[in-house]
A and B are shown apart, each in its own frame.
Chain A
Amino acid sequence: MNFIKELLSDKNKVSQNLKKIFWIIGSLLFLVGFYGWAVRLIDGHIKANYGSIVTWGLWVAAYIYFIGLSAGSFLVSSLVYVFNYKKFERIGKLAVFTALITLLMALLSIWADLGHMGRAWHVMIYPNFKSPMAWMIYLYLIYMLLLVFEIYYLLRYDFVIGANNETLKGKLYKILSFGSKDKSEESRLRDKKIVKVLATAGVPIAILFHGGVGALFGVVAARPHWHSGLFPILFLLSALVSGGALLTLISSIFQEGWTKNREIVIDLGKMVLGLLLLDILFQISEFLIVYRGGIPGHIAGWDLVIKGPYAWVFWGWQGFVGTLIPLFLLTLKRKSPQWVALAGLLIAAGIFGLRLNIVIPGLAVEEIHGLTSAIYSHRVDPHYFPSLSEWLLTFGIVGFGMLLFGLGEYFLPKEDESKTELLSESKV
């Protein structure tokens, strides 16, 4: 108890320790991931617990979760670079960077899920434009390129300035500036313009690909749990909630954490609260329509969610930890960044439960009554719980993302280092 008090009394210590905790968790997760990847690469899918009934499992849920985080944090960053929302300027770069890392995490998870990982490129040479999945993959590629360019132009000036130093960072910056030496004011303005164009182009792309992920599920008429026009919109909303929540957490840990980002954390908290309430409204609407409609096939999926074997994911994880507590924190403790940050953590974690509750119950309903008792095989079973290797691989991806993010945060130019930039910008 004393230790915690001491910790909280010295705010700088807190943020430093938070970073330490971040690195420790990240490395641990990254390490355990090796086991999951080894099993995946050696045994293929044999050690995975999904089957021919629940055909998609934890990895797909993780994928839609990460991709949601990416779309969400990118859209938050667009507040700064497209809509000129100055308040969030300090975390703009952080948000774009987060979008890139979480995109990589998403692609890694879905890549592991493929039966033939080596054939992912087939989408390029054998396209099927009727498939929402194909569309998504093309959009991801465009989005990834766009993010890389946006980050480059966001940081180019800092790289060029920093490239003079003889430190490790200086050398790295020299490489990252790709030979650009232009320190002129015009070049900076040009960079800003390019960023604005890229960020603007990114908004519809982010909406398209994440709404598209919702459509990927929504179009499947065979699965009544997914087959709803609300799906693309629900996906976007929960992406914004989770992305905003994650950024709340990130901006209270990094870049001196909540000691400096206090206002931003609190503002983000307000935004997330609003979005969360909207998300709840949509969810309730879906729920009520399904139950009032009363078609057995439609109800079956929701029945699994609220009273199936994993109902605790809905009530405990998603509902209590991921929604109720954060709602409480965001309304009653909205002025203290620590609590808002905690709410961010809980919401971000809670949305993972929501993603699981989309993928699994949609599939775990027998399409043909009696099918799963017609054949005796663990692959023909509506009950699914991820195997050890599935969990560890997913943890590994989280760890990998955290380490990548940590390294980036350490090496990439800080907002404060380019304070001069901010000052001169406000004059423009």
Chain B
Amino acid sequence: MAEKIKEIEKETSSISRDEFLSKLIKIGAGTLAATIVSNGMLGTASKLIAKSKNETPVKRKYHYGMVIDTRRCVGCRACVLACKAENKTPPGVSYTVVFEEILENRPNDKPVFMTKPCFHCEYPPCTDVCPVSATYKREQDGIVVVDYDRCIGCRYCMTACPYSARWFDFGENYPAIEQGTDWSNVPSPEYKQFRKREHEQSPIGNVRKCTFCLHLQDEEGKYNKAEGRWPACAKTCTGKAIHFGDFNDPNSEVSILLRERQYIRLKEELGTSPNVYYLI
């Protein structure tokens, strides 16, 4: 293959520019050819940069993820509210949602409920498209984050996420904030940045998403379930359906569940390799 390409390259370089152009016009495929060439170029360029993707798996201290038991979820949506209360997300922004699927042929059964945070994909398509690298996968624990001060709000990442896990903050507020009540003065602990909502200030105008409540980690990057430093949704889940933990640790709850139970991941065909598993 490589030799062939070299041959072709040799051939093309021996044609002078004028000849080349006139040839292009003649076959009327100037635009076509250039597009193919250019796409090829971009392709190789990005491949060079993306080399790490499949060949060298990133060595990570922690590999956080979730295992969600669809049989235990009762659809109470406590996780949705717990997340709102923890991260102080505005109306229209919900880092996790519960959607329901009525089983075909068994309409009288309880629907299958699924809570859906960001999956913190191993190969997140959202980070690749960001023109300013404002969103990225953290090296230490694989959590996908957004740098609010860098993000320009283009929303390209939202189109690229196959799971609708990203939300644009339009600047809408709860009445409490508009009225300036005490509650509204509590800042959001997100990313340990403790931002208050202020007109036109980040995160308004940014894309936001689930962070696995990383502000609850200690200096080492560890969570602690006993101390309550645990993602709000998993902590609250009444049906105990949301399990959170470190896949690097073979004795963690999540690792054990994956060994013992059957699971699926959503849209695996896209190669995103989500870190949220659903037990079935």
Contacts and interface: CB of A to CB of B under 8 A. Distances in A.
Interface of A: 43-46, 48, 51-53, 55-56, 75, 82-83, 113-116, 119-120, 122-123, 126-135, 137, 203-204, 207-208, 211-212, 215-216, 219-223, 232-233, 236-237, 240, 362-363, 366-371, 373-375, 377-380
Nearest to A207: B34
Interface in B63-99: 80, 91-94, 97-99
A304 B232 CA distance: 38
Interface string B34-55: 1100110010011001100000
A215 B156 CA distance: 13
B35 A211 contact: yes
Interface string B157-175: 0111111101111111000
Interface stretch (B126-134, B183-191, B217-225): B126-134
A44 B152 contact: no
Nearest to B112: A370
Contacts of B164: 52-53, 366-368, 371
Interface of B: 21, 25, 30-32, 34-35, 38-39, 42, 45-46, 49-50, 80, 91-94, 97-101, 116, 125, 128-134, 150-156, 158-164, 166-172, 200, 202, 204-207, 266, 270
User: Per DSSP, are chain A's interface residues mostly helix, strand or loop, or mixed?
Assistant: loop
Given A82-B21, A367-B162, A44 B205 contact: yes
Contacts of B134: 122, 126
Contacts of B125: 220-222
A131 to B, nearest CB: 4
A123 B131 contact: yes
Given A126-B133, A130-B46, A236-B35, A367 B21 contact: no
Given A52-B166, A132-B129, A368-B164, A115 B151 contact: yes
A230 to B, nearest CB: 10
B206 to A, nearest CB: 6
Nearest to A366: B164
B272 to A, nearest CB: 9
A367 to B, nearest CB: 5
Contacts of A203: 30, 34
Contacts of B98: 374
Given A134-B132, A208-B34, A51 B168 contact: yes
B131 A137 contact: yes
B225 to A, nearest CB: 27
* Max chain A C-beta neighbours (<10 A), residue from B162, B164, B169: B164
B213 to A, nearest CB: 20
A9 B150 CA distance: 61
Contacts of B155: 55-56, 115
B206 A123 contact: no
Nearest to A120: B152
Contacts of A83: 21, 25
Given A83-B21, A133-B154, A375 B49 contact: no
24 contacts: A44-B170, A51-B92, A52-B164, A114-B152, A115-B154, A116-B202, A116-B205, A116-B206, A128-B128, A129-B45, A130-B128, A131-B130, A207-B38, A211-B38, A212-B38, A220-B159, A232-B35, A236-B31, A240-B31, A363-B159, A367-B161, A370-B100, A374-B99, A379-B172
A133 B159 CA distance: 12
Nearest to B169: A115
Given A52-B93, A115-B168, A204-B34, A370 B133 contact: no
Contacts of A53: 164
B204 A44 contact: yes
A279 to B, nearest CB: 12
Contacts of B101: 369-370
A162 to B, nearest CB: 34
A56 B168 contact: no
A377 B91 contact: yes
Given A45-B205, A48-B170, A371-B97, 18 more contacts: A45-B171, A51-B170, A52-B166, A114-B154, A115-B151, A119-B153, A122-B134, A128-B131, A135-B42, A215-B39, A220-B129, A220-B160, A221-B162, A222-B162, A237-B31, A366-B164, A374-B97, A377-B92
